[in-house]
Amino acid sequence: MAKLEEIIANEENRVLCLGNEAIARGAIEAGVQVFAAYPGTPSSEISMAMIAAAPKLGFYAEWSTNEKVAMETAFAASISGVRAMTACKHVGLNVAADAFYSFLYMGCKGGFVTVVGDDPHCFSSQNEQDSRWLGVSAQFPVIEPSSPQEAKEYVKRAFDVSEKFEMPMLLRSTTRVSHARTDVQFNKFESNFREGEYEKTNRFACLPALARANHPKLLERMEKIKEWLPTSGFSTIEGPDSHTEFGIITSGISYAYVKDALKTLKKELPILKLGMVAPLDEQTILEFAKDKENIIFIEEVDPYLEDRICALFIQNGVIPKIHGKSSEITKRYHELNARLVAEALVKVVGGSIVPVIEIEKSVEETKDFVPFRPPLFCAGCQHRAAFWELSKVVRKNKGVFASDIGCYSLDPWVTDTILCMGGGIGMANGFSKVIKDKPIFAYIGDSTFFHTGMPALANAVYNKANINILVLDNRMTAMTGFQPNPTEEIDIAEVAKSLGVEYVVVFDPYDFENGKKVFEDALKHEGPTVIIMRKICANEDWRRKRRKGEKIEVFHIDPEICIACGTCIVQYQCPAIRWSLDTNSKGKKYSIIDPTMCTGCSVCSQICPVGAISKVDE
Amino acid sequence: MVETYQMVICGVGGQGILTISDIITIAAQKKGLNVLGSEVHGMAQKGGSVITNLKIGKNLNSPTIPIGTSKMLVGLEQNESLRYIKYLQPGGTVITSETVLFPITWKKDKEAADKARENIKGNLGKFDATIYFIDAEGLANQTGLALTQNIVLLGALSQVEGFPITDNELREALKIRVPPRFLEVNLKAFDLGIRAVKT
């Protein structure tokens, strides 16, 4: 990743950076004064860069407890006249929806930009939500950059547009823009920070009578943006302008795929690229399409442009032949690439691409030799220890286990359900009301507990849910890159007690003996219990120690004592342990620990049935 | 017109894939070329299979490399090289470490690693490619720092015909990217990688 000094340097420079860092730079160049966010892939690096830059440049930035709080924080700053921004992943935008569906009615003052990172292909997400639809349903102006450089420029412009029309703006990025790494031109900036001031007005209270008056005003503002769009530079047309047979309409990263696909096909076709996808630049679109026989839509996941623009065509009596999701030239799921787009274009405009039959044949012949390598708990992960202990006390078929979003989603033993942030406790509450013959468990991490777990816990206490809540408190938001969160300062045990939970226990997940007792006790208790397994994230702790040059006390396995039962490898599944390539004196394979991966957690030595595992020094 | 050089780098999360991708992009930029790469963050660092795309040239558009279009594949782990060799264009080059890291799915089969080692060369050989097998683990251990396996492969890469960046340019980039106290071992690993391809 780019260095912090490069991101904050007030210089004209080409800097190698991630798309997300380019977005942060754009905000810095625009003079953002308040930034608030909750981490979520693929948006986290925006916030990490902003939060690191803030103290150096003298603006305010925070990790908020959830996306809704972050958005409210930024909104208040905006209506006090300063430039404000928030960033989240697509599902995080849903958490904030309650806020923005209403504040859009009221508009903003200081430039206000929300960046959302969509994740086509679900690289790190639970769905492929296409956030462009929010533009239509909430009347959120949406801009969609096609590269890191454009993302930086768009963020900067978004602040100006936001102030010009007093409208909050949504910038939609996708994984392949956010996590592209390239050289981006940085520009000098002026830090003309404003004094925040709240001018007394009733505009920003969404009471029904005011909301009724505000709704037409919102539509008027959107109408004004629409009128301005053709001259805004957000819509660009390229390619041979005399061409009337075909025209391509695209936006965002799909534009980059179109460019490369046309290069592969050695064809030039007119392309209309829409930088703003809500509201639509109707005038330019109709102008572009009016003399074309065929319009080809290239976009990822949903037929957003296709559906909306087809409606526009019908309303205006422009009826070209339509190619897109409706004619299945591209799929409605997963991401695109230059080849998929080239294949789609060939179906409509002809031409050919080099087949990959030979490669596919070889892939087919060798596929059984390519092992599946799913992500799993790191070596030494305390969550693995926690779930191991739980699975020993309560077998999978003897309980119902509602998990949540975080590293613990990777549990290989007991998990039944995973839904959304904070969803585990809510679902456990529901299970407890209908399933009476089995213990009900919810598990949740420290960051998720503060994100949306607390209201669900209050609900469980109030409604007397007979559930056991395991809080896997590893002192940070590990899954998204070890961000800090309130667990550093607020004790979850005290929170649980103050919410009225009678049974609250804190213990070290490596302490198996105590753990077993706690689980057994908790099961006897009526009403909600909160069991906090507290230990700093083993992976981060190990990395910090290595960076400091501290010695890590690793474990090893005696090949002559090991009976190759597989408890440590097959059952516990520690990634630092594997089968030996050679054999011991009895001619048998045995387990070995990779000393470069071992974190010294000791759990394998506790579960080995024959005592073959010990500290290297002993 | 500069022809775009497309390459993929693959391995297992934690092997230093992003580090060598960084060094190549730094060197390319210093040379006045554009670079465009695509990474996957988040879940991928948890010991999962990782692939990075890298394009070097001028006027680059899309960040990903479709099947059958990469000139080069650098694999830090043999099974991962086999998984991603489909991205290579016919006649492309593979530089793969002989390292085998155990995926969880092998845990139940004590012989799985032996079988994979036996078959891997034959399997990779089914693809139309020039393949260099490098004992990156052994060479890295010679430097005294096992974590330099990635840099060994980077050294080897610098010797491949058609790769647009020279070994000296990569050394300069290494100096920028690697912490000073680790620079010497990394330069050593880099040179061992160069020699591994030359002999």
Window 121-150 of A, Cβ < 8 Å to B: 123-124, 147
Task: Give dist(CA A16, CA A6) in Å, integer.
Answer: 9
pLDDT in tens, A166-189: 999 999 999 999 999 999 999 999
Q: In the prediction, which pLDDT does A396 show?
A: 74
From the list A76, A138, A84, A149, the residue with the least C-alpha distance to A115 is A84
The answer on pLDDT for B10 being more than 90 is yes
In the prediction, which pLDDT does A608 show? 96
Residue A191 has pLDDT above 90, yes or no: no
Contacts of B90 in chain A (CB under 8 A): 358-359
Three-state DSSP at A443 gives strand
Instruction: Tell me the pLDDT tens digit for each residue of A475-517.
Output: 999 988 899 999 999 999 999 999 999 999 999 999 888 888 9
Query: What is the pLDDT at residue A51?
Result: 97
pLDDT in tens, A281-309: 999 999 999 999 999 999 999 999 999 99
Cα–Cα distance between B87 and B72 in angstroms, integer? Answer: 9
Q: Which residues 31-70 of A have a C-beta within 8 angstroms of B?
A: 41-42, 44-45
Alpha carbon distance B6, B65 (integer Å):
7
Interface check A80 vs B, CB under 8 A:
no
Residue B118, chain A, CB below 8 Å: the answer is: no
CATH topology of domain A235-349: Rossmann fold (3.40.50)
Rounded to an integer, the average pLDDT of A534-540 is 93
Q: What is the pLDDT of residue B108?
A: 77
Gap between the Cα atoms of B65 and B55, Å rounded: 8
Nearest to A16 among B26, B105, B119 (CB): B26
**Which of these, B21, B157, B67, lies nearest to A359 by C-alpha position?**
B67
pLDDT given for residue B42 in this prediction: 58
Residue B161, classified by CB atoms within 10 Å of its CB into exposed (0-12), middle (13-18) or buried (19+), is exposed
Among partner residues A176, A479, A481, which is closest to B63 by beta-carbon distance?
A176
Using an 8 Å CB-CB cutoff, list chain A residues near B86: 356, 359-360, 362-363
Give helix B180-198 / helix B136-143 axis angle, nearest 10°: 140
Taking CB atoms and an 8 Å limit, are A124 and B42 in contact across chains? yes
pTM (predicted TM-score): 0.95
pLDDT of residue A302: 97
Please tell me which of the candidates B46, B60, B66 has its beta carbon nearest to residue A410. Answer: B46
Segment A430-441 shows an average pLDDT of 96
A178 vs A17: CA distance, rounded Å = 10
**Beta-carbon neighbour count of residue A417 at 10 Å?**
15
Fold (topology level) of A382-540: Rossmann fold (3.40.50)
Give the helix/strand (H/E) hosting A322: strand A321-323
pLDDT band at A226 (very low <50, low <70, confident <90, very high): very high
pLDDT at A137 exceeding the cut of 90? yes
What is the predicted pLDDT for the residue at A618?
54
- Residue B114 contacts A where some CB pair is shorter than 8 Å: yes
- Taking one residue from A and the other from B, the number of pairs with CB-CB distance under 8 angstroms is 176
Chain B partners within 8 Å of A340 (Cβ): 66
Sign of the four-CA dihedral A102, A107, A108, A111: positive
| Confidence at residue A607, expressed as pLDDT on a 0 to 100 scale | 94
3-state SS class at A316: coil
Structural domain of B129: 5-198
CA distance A389 to A180: 41
Yes or no: say if A568 and A591 are a contact pair by the CB < 8 Å rule.
yes
**Per-residue pLDDT at B146:** 85
- Domain locations in chain A as residue ranges: 4-229, 235-349, 382-540, 551-615
Q: pLDDT, tens digit, for every residue of A349-373?
A: 999 998 899 999 999 999 988 998 8
Q: What is the pLDDT of residues B23-73, one digit of tens each?
A: 999 999 999 999 999 987 755 566 788 999 999 999 899 999 999 999 999
What does A325-350 look like in DSSP terms, one character per residue? TTTTSS-SSS---HHHHHHHHHHHH-
Both structure tokens of A611: 């005592």
Residue A208 at interface with chain B, using a CB cutoff of 8 Å: no
Q: What is the mean pLDDT of residues A547-552?
A: 87
Mutate to test the interface with A, among B38, B62, B120 (most CBs of A within 10 A): B62
Q: Kindly report the average pLDDT of chain A as a whole number.
A: 95
- Chain A contacts of B48, Cβ < 8 Å? 373-376
**CATH code assigned at B27:** 3.40.920.10
* pLDDT over 90 (residue B115): no
Cβ(B69)–Cβ(A264) below 8 Å:
no
Q: Are B75 and B95 in contact (CB under 8 A)?
A: yes
Q: Token pair for residue A299?
A: 């976009």
CATH of A4-229, one of 3.10.180.10, 1.10.8.100, 3.40.50.970, 3.40.50.620: 3.40.50.970
- The label of the residue with tokens 């500290």 reads A615
User: B-contacting residues of A 262-301, CB under 8 Å?
Assistant: 263
pLDDT, residue B25, reads: 95
pLDDT computed for residue A415 by the predictor:
94
A316/A333 Cα distance (integer angstroms)? 30
User: Any idea which fold A551-615 has?
Assistant: Alpha-Beta Plaits (3.30.70)
Q: Which residues of A touch B34 (CB under 8 A)?
A: 182-183
DSSP assignment of A572-602 equals: S--TTEEE-SS--TTS---EEE-TTT-----
pLDDT digits (tens, 9 = 90+) for A80-94: 999 999 999 999 999
Q: Helix crossing, B149-157 with B180-198: angle to 10°?
A: 50
Give the total number of structural domains in chain B.
Answer: 1
Token readout for B52 is 């990075």
Identify from A373, A413, A552, A590 which residue to disrupt to test chain B contact, counting B C-beta atoms within 10 A and taking the largest count: A373
Say whether A551-615 and A235-349 share the same fold. Answer: no
Confidence of residue A400 (pLDDT cuts 50, 70, 90): very high
Confidence of residue B105 (pLDDT cuts 50, 70, 90): confident
Region for A475 from its dihedrals, namely left if φ exceeds 0, alpha if ψ lies in -120 to 50, beta otherwise: left
Query: A548: left (phi > 0), else alpha (psi -120 to 50), else beta?
Result: alpha
Cα–Cα separations (whole angstroms), residue A15 to A21, A182, B29, B64: 10, 8, 9, 20
